[in-house]
Amino acid sequence: MAVGADGSVYVAVWGRGEVTALDSRGHVAKRIKTAGNLPSNIAFGPNDEKAIYVTERERGVVERFDIPTSGCPMYLG
């Protein structure tokens, strides 16, 4: 799971072959199909890149998807 700067949440759904994007209210905004059925992890790209990177276990690949937001800034203390 990864959180966008706009409050959206991206969830890898193991066994369904998709990343489900929820808007800031918790409603399904989009379903992003992955190459296989076993997406396992998500990370945002660096430097405010508006993309997510998804590991997909069944095919053994990392996929990149363009999305409308960058990742939520990390707490730097």
pLDDT tens for the chain, 77 residues long, are 999 999 999 999 999 999 999 999 999 999 999 999 999 999 999 988 999 999 999 999 999 999 999 999 877 66
| Burial of residue 15, with CB atoms counted within 10 A of its CB: 0-12 exposed, 13-18 middle, 19 or more buried | exposed
Instruction: Decide if 62 contacts 54 (C-beta within 8 A).
Output: yes
Q: What is the pLDDT of residue 74?
A: 76
Per the structure, the count of domains in the chain is 1
Contact 32, 53 (CB under 8 A): no
Q: Is there a domain that residue 17 lies in?
A: yes
Residue 75 belongs to a domain? no
56 inside domain? yes
Q: Is residue 23 part of a domain?
A: yes
- 61 assigned to some structural domain: yes
Range of the domain at 49: 2-37+44-66
pTM above 0.85, yes or no: yes
In a domain, 77, yes or no: no
Tokens matching residue 49? 């890149």
| SS3 label, residue 42 | strand
